[in-house]
Chain A
């Protein structure tokens, strides 16, 4: 007899021998908290959207921001604000639509795909947002470099001493290092949280995909 059929025989024989859970215990379970990955993904995603919304709102009142904004025209500021919120609303809607598609009565593979898709929407949002911020940053740095009186004085000084190349180098190195540090922190955050949360799911999803190759 084949191994699995031997196991099946035993499986059937012993299927009533589990300790019974009473109705009362089941009632109690219904009111316990779920530890499901989907719940965590949902909570973390909401936090991410909230975090960026709060950041945008807080920064708009900041004196530094106002100083930076004084270099830009009113139209540019409107444009940036509209694009910024537009990106957020678009991704939030996508996130919500995908989240609604997650149902435990779906096929195993579809369920996994939908969870990963939902998660992907949020990380795409983060990447687009970061890309947007970095682009803005670079533009602002250039404007700042060419307009800020202190910098201009410094440039003038450096030119007189023949060290202008050095100044350019330091200034841009600082910008690049700043961007790299931010990118690294975000990457680390993603690795940690999603590595922990999604490692098993991704492994199982790949395993399932492999069967149909």
Chain B
């Protein structure tokens, strides 16, 4: 038996699931862990859904809950070993636009991002999602100026990881 609330939730989540996949992509590095985190975020979203009033967009609201789950609530079951295969699987390459050098570089970039800590990943995630600094600052609970400063430091850190 599924209530109306449940149906509406499942439908919206199904439509916007990429958002959760993207969070999982940054915070996990194996297929199992990805699924596990996806499930936990889904559960947390569902728990918080009765408070979602629809005055903000489903995605904006889901961002918050998703990030909070990944950074704060989620407990990794076991230490997962990084599997590059999974990364490759997610990173399907269209043969016609295959550019070996660029693909290699991007792969290294993803691996560098994986080495950042949870908070830095959150900043990177929101940056990749085109969020402006005021929103990044608001979501994390830090000041806008410091969000900018931190972002610049992360860029520097990534450069160092890539060119040691």
Residues of A at the B interface (CB closer than 8 Å) are: 2-4, 6-8, 10-11, 14-18, 20-23, 26-27, 29-30, 32, 34-38, 40, 103-112, 115, 197, 200-201, 203-204, 207-208, 211-212
State whether B73 touches A36 (Cβ < 8 A): yes
With A32-B43, A110-B141 as known contacts, state yes or no: A21 contacts B128, CB within 8 Å: no
Residues of B near A27 (CB, < 8 A) are: 2, 6, 10
Inside 8 A of A37's CB, which chain B residues have their CB? 72-75
Contacts of B64 in A (CB 8 A): 104-106
CB-based nearest B residue for A33: B43
Neighbouring B residues of A16 by C-beta, 8 Å: 18
- How distant is the Cα of A40 from the Cα of B72 in the complex, in angstroms? 13
- Interchain Cβ contacts within 8 Å, total number: 158
Chain B interfacial residues counted at CB < 8 A: 67
B33 within 8 A of A: no
When the two chains form the complex, which single residue of A14, A35, A104 contacts B48, counting CB atoms closer than 8 Å? A104
Q: How far is the CA of A7 from the CA of B21 in the complex (A)?
A: 16
Residues on A with beta carbons closer than 8 Å to the beta carbon of B69:
36, 104
With the chains together, A112 CA to B158 CA distance in Å?
A: 26
Residue on A with the closest CB to B112? A3
Q: In whole angstroms, how far apart are the Cα atoms of A195 and B84 in the complex? A: 31
